[in-house]
Amino acid sequence: MFHSEGLKHSDVTPHSVYLTRRCALAALSALALPISRATAGQTTRFTSIAKPSLANVAKTSYGAGEALTPQSVVTGYNDFYEFGSAKDEPAQNAAKFVTSPWTITMDGEVSRPVTVDLDRVMKLAPLEERIYRHRCVEGWSMVVPWIGYSLSALLKQVQPTAKAKFVAFQTYFDAKKMPDAAALRFPYVEGLRLDEAMNPLTLLCVGLYGTPLPNQNGAPVRVIVPWKYGLKSIKSIVKITFQESMPATTWNTFNPVEYGFYSNVNPAIENYRWNQKDERRLGEFGKRPTQLFNGYIKEVASMYAGMDLKKNY
């Protein structure tokens, strides 16, 4: 268990070092280009036209008044098992991870399958800064100013069909470049129910603290699902597939007793290894009570009306 009061300067990546790892990003052109319709039986592919930029990011009221977790902690204490199982290893091992150019393939039960460059993804909706609480199964939490827009803006582009009930995500993986240090099967995969993926709170994330995502935090694009445990917020996405059946997920496949498909933050769920009733906010002393849905009850509780939240964990 990590204790913030024991955090040493050597345990995290200094901001100045992080900045040297990232090349300067050119500004995007002002007009967004639409995604074209795919021909029958084919997937439309787009090529890179510009490097992404985080210029003109709008501030929002999400998380207003909450104390932010120090940036050095957020970028230096990470779960990204493809780059190591210890919390400080991803920041070290992901330093040379190449994230440009980058494409995301979207297929499955959709009318307009595409393989779209990140440049175009960045233009689909105005970027916002949203301060979200982030809670992990192990009992630690953060408050982070993420940058992105609602994932639904991207998903709507491919026109999901009536058969689409779930959305499956896949992380980039290259065994030659990623030192697999965990007993997991890669590539890392995750999934959401379609209504969860379309919920306005679900964020397609491209940055934090006013800068592009560091490699160890899931560069260049990830998802943030703030009412679920951090394992659901998949990093470095390369594929999104719409399907009728519930998709397999990495941790649920590895240990289905401990990691349910939904993985909603719920203090009433017992975990034989981790205490779910309270949490340690990194950068703070002491603990605080864990909130159902991580405190986002108003925004998401209606999606689970009538469900047994212990059975459907």
Amino acid at site 92 = Q
CATH number at residue 281: 3.90.420.10
* Strand pairing report for 222-224 and 203-208: antiparallel
- The answer to whether residue 309 sits within a structural domain is no
In a domain, 222, yes or no: yes
With respect to residue 203, please indicate whether it lies within any of the assigned structural domains: yes
pLDDT in tens, the chain (313 residues): 333 333 333 333 333 333 333 333 322 222 233 443 333 444 444 443 344 568 789 999 999 999 999 999 999 999 999 999 899 999 999 999 999 999 999 999 999 999 999 999 999 999 999 999 999 999 999 999 999 999 999 999 999 999 999 999 999 999 888 875 567 889 999 999 999 999 999 999 999 999 999 999 999 999 999 999 999 999 999 999 999 999 999 999 999 989 999 999 999 998 888 889 999 999 888 999 999 999 999 999 999 999 999 999 9
User: Residue 307 and residue 311: Cα distance in Å, rounded?
Assistant: 8
* The dihedral formed by the CA atoms of 246, 250, 253 and 256, expressed in degrees to the nearest 10: -90
Cα–Cα distance between 96 and 3 in angstroms, integer? 29
Look up the domain containing 261 and give its range: 4-304
User: How confident is the model at residue 48, as a pLDDT?
Assistant: 39
Per the DSSP assignment, residues forming a β-bridge with 166 are: 193, 243
Distance from C-alpha of 236 to C-alpha of 157, rounded to nearest angstrom: 20
What is the count of structural domains for the chain?
1
CA distances from 217 to 74, 87, 146, 310 (A): 8, 11, 11, 30
Please choose, from the candidates 77, 136, 85, 81, the residue with its C-alpha nearest in 3D space to the C-alpha of residue 273: 136
The SS3 call for residue 135 is strand
Distance CA 269, CA 287 (A): 18
Q: Three-state secondary structure along 147-172?
A: EEEECHHHHHHHCECCCCCEEEEEEC
Specify if 242 maps to a domain: yes
Give the model's pLDDT for residue 239: 98
Is 310 contained in some domain? no
The CA distance from 253 to 209, in Å, is 33
- Residue at 311 is within a domain: no
